[in-house]
């Protein structure tokens, strides 16, 4: 297959939602339809210790939430589909924001009963800013919830989207009869017995066909006819060009847990979703059709396999073909590197690949060379931008609870911080270590992973700080800077890359410091270098 044909086959997308809207279940069902797994593990049912395929960290199985983005790939109708399943919980939003830099389109999952929730609003805003094409999937139609038209209005108003339904429900909850697939002009009947299997639809090109009344009952059939008439009048006709530009969002209804409406979503997605897109670097726009390789690291995961202590850097291929054992330039370090065992993913299952194409995600074994945002090329100096690093909002001292294991603790902290889930600071005055995170739940995850992956135990002490600022002095030797260092000595620390940071206990402190020492510049992200 030629390079351009391989490119046309690729679809790389992320699934985003508020926690509990059914994102991981939907991911799992997409894999089921793609033939990648034989049966789905009930995610929430702890009696079945299988857990969801995409939640492969032990803590995710216990808590029933996703805490890290996982990458899954499968072939469906000769298309190579790459899914990035992201955490929904707000404490892990940083991982999700970074993942959105690596996708070409997005599926947003919304719970029929809860409607649009806060976390969904934030994530969709990022997608809209970046003009990422969005498909909306309204989930859990087998439960009682909001009326379909009310939901469509809510999606338009709260998320600022312009929607067009491509499938429409017949009833809901106890009266849920099925879905009319507007895109494929088919009627799918619902039965709650088909959780593990896949039902085929009945084709209906003419809704006035009396057979419809026989199948769903006269009342439901008439309601459907009226509602569809309204849909055709009120909502714009689907236009692929507008969808690809991020100006029109198709909506599907279904129940992921019951395998319902998922196939319609997948069939339509493979037809309309964008192939790998060009990406803006600081130097120029990189087109996915270019022959030379470019790619960037959007995630680092320590201990994919605890037995082997391996660290993987996840690289999204932007252009060219990534070949095993070929030399590539690590732009930030300015050195050539070869990779003998690049991995493709299926949750935690990995296989070595010889070639990867634009849109694919490759896992590279890493001994500490990579940072999030690093670029690989065939020699050109390029830096992909827009991979954020946030200023933490929660701070805690970290103490070693087992003095015999201080080496393990040090190593564990080092590797986990490289993942970008949290940041480590060392106080200048006494060398105490402080962990800063965007969400408080991160501390539990760090503690759990230190113990179970590194055999190290830690305890925390609260540190009531407001923000951490990176210090960028105009002139280190000037008197003002010396004065700043002397006065603020107790609040100064170094980050992992030895950059100076200043801990502020309130917004007022930051204002006062800036007015008192104007030549000392304070930054809220570490990206200013």
> What domains does the chain contain, in order, with CATH numbers?
3-272 (3.40.50.300), 279-377 (3.40.50.300), 394-528 (3.30.70.3280)
Could you please report the per-residue DSSP string of 273-289? SPPSPPEEBSS-EEPTT
Q: What does each C-alpha distance from 402 to 410, 417, 458 come to in angstroms? A: 12, 20, 7
Residues 195, 223: Cα–Cα separation, whole Å: 27
Cα separation, 56 vs 24, whole angstroms: 11
Give me the count of residues in the chain.
Answer: 529
pLDDT of the residue at 450: 86
Residue 343 CB burial class (10 angstroms; 0-12, 13-18, ≥19): buried
Residue 527 pLDDT: 55
Write out the H or E segment, with its range, that includes residue 503: strand 500-504
pTM of the shown model: 0.74
CA geometry: angle at 525 spanning 99 and 65, to 5°?
35
Q: Which residue has the tokens 């459907």?
A: 224
Which stretches of 155-243 are assigned E, i.e. beta strand? 163-165, 167-170, 178-181, 186-189, 202-203
* Alpha-carbon torsion (331, 521, 416, 409), positive or negative: positive
- Looking at the chain, the number of H-run helices and the number of E-run strands are 14, 31
The confidence score (pLDDT) of residue 294 equals: 92
Distances in whole angstroms, Cα of residue 521 to Cα of each of 297, 480, 502, 509, 518: 29, 12, 11, 14, 7
**pLDDT tens, per residue, the chain with 529 residues:** 788 888 888 888 888 887 777 777 887 787 777 665 554 443 333 333 344 544 445 555 554 444 444 677 888 888 888 888 776 455 445 666 777 788 889 999 998 888 888 778 878 887 887 788 999 999 888 888 888 889 899 989 988 889 999 988 887 777 777 888 888 777 777 665 544 444 555 666 667 777 777 777 788 888 888 888 888 888 999 999 999 988 999 999 988 888 788 888 888 888 888 998 888 888 888 888 888 999 998 887 765 555 555 678 888 899 989 998 899 999 888 889 988 888 876 644 667 888 888 888 888 887 778 888 888 998 888 887 656 556 677 899 999 988 888 888 888 888 777 776 688 899 998 889 998 887 777 788 888 888 888 888 989 998 888 888 888 766 666 788 888 888 888 999 988 878 888 998 888 988 888 888 888 888 776 654 3
> Which pLDDT belongs to residue 386?
59
Dihedral angle sign, alpha carbons of residues 276, 278, 282, 283? positive
Which pLDDT value is given to residue 66?
43
Number of C-beta neighbours around residue 422 at 10 A: 22
Q: What's the CA gap between 255 and 347, in Å, rounded?
A: 23
Q: Where are the beta strands (DSSP E) in 27-146?
A: 70-76, 79-85, 105-111, 134-139
How far is the CA of 488 from the CAs of 169, 288, 424, 474, in angstroms? 62, 49, 19, 17
CA distance 60 to 86: 12
């Amino acid at each position: 297959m030629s390079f351009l044909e391989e490119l046309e086959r690729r679809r790389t997308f992320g699934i985003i939602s508020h926690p509990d809207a059914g994102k991981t279940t939907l991911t799992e069902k997409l894999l089921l339809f793609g033939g990648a797994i034989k049966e789905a593990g009930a995610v929430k049912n702890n009696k079945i210790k299988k857990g969801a395929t995409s939640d492969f960290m032990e803590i995710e199985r216990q808590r029933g939430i996703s805490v890290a983005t996982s990458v899954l790939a499968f072939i469906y109708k000769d298309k190579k589909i790459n899914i990035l399943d992201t955490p929904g919980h707000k404490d892990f939003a940083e991982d999700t924001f970074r993942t959105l830099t690596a996708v070409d389109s997005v599926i947003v999952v919304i719970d029929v009963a809860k409607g649009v929730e806060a976390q969904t609003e934030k994530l969709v805003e990022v997608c809209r800013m970046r003009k990422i094409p969005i498909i909306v999937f309204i989930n859990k139609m087998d439960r009682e919830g909001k009326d379909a038209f009310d939901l469509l209005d809510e999606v338009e108003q709260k998320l600022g989207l312009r929607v067009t339904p491509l499938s429409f429900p017949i009833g809901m909850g106890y009266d849920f009869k099925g879905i009319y697939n507007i895109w494929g002009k088919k009627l799918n009947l619902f039965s709650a017995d088909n959780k593990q299997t896949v039902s085929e639809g009945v084709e209906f090109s003419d809704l006035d066909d009396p057979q419809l009344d026989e199948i769903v009952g006269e009342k439901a059939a008439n309601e459907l006819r009226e509602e569809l008439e309204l849909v055709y009048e009120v909502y714009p006709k689907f236009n692929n060009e507008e969808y690809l530009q991020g100006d029109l969002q198709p909506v599907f209804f279904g129940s992921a847990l019951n395998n319902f409406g998922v196939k319609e979503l997948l069939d339509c997605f493979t037809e309309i979703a964008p192939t790998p897109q060009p990406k803006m670097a600081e130097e120029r726009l990189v087109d996915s059709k270019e022959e030379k390789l470019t790619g960037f690291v959007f995630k680092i995961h320590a201990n994919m396999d605890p037995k082997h202590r391996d660290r993987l850097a996840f690289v999204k291929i932007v252009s060219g073909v990534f070949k095993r054992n070929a030399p590539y330039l690590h732009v930030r370090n300015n050195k050539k590197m070869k990779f003998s065992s690049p991995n493709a993913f299926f949750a935690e299952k990995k296989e070595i690949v010889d070639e990867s194409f634009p849109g694919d995600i490759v896992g590279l074994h890493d001994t500490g060379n990579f940072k999030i945002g690093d670029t690989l090329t065939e020699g050109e100096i390029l830096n992909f931008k827009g991979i954020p690093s946030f200023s933490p909002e929660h701070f805690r001292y970290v103490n070693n609870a087992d003095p015999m294991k201080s080496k393990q603790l040090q190593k564990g902290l080092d590797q986990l911080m490289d993942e970008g889930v949290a940041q480590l600071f060392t106080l200048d005055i006494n060398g105490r270590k402080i962990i800063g995170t965007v969400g408080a739940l991160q501390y539990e995850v760090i503690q759990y992973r230190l113990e179970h992956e590194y055999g190290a135990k830690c305890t925390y002490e609260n540190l009531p700080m407001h923000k951490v600022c990176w210090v960028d002095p105009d002139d280190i030797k000037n008197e003002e800077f010396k004065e700043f260092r002397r006065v603020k000595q107790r609040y100064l620390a170094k980050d992992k890359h030895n950059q100076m940071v200043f801990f502020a206990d309130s917004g007022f402190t930051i204002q006062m410091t800036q007015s008192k020492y104007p030549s000392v510049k304070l930054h809220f992200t570490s990206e200013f270098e």
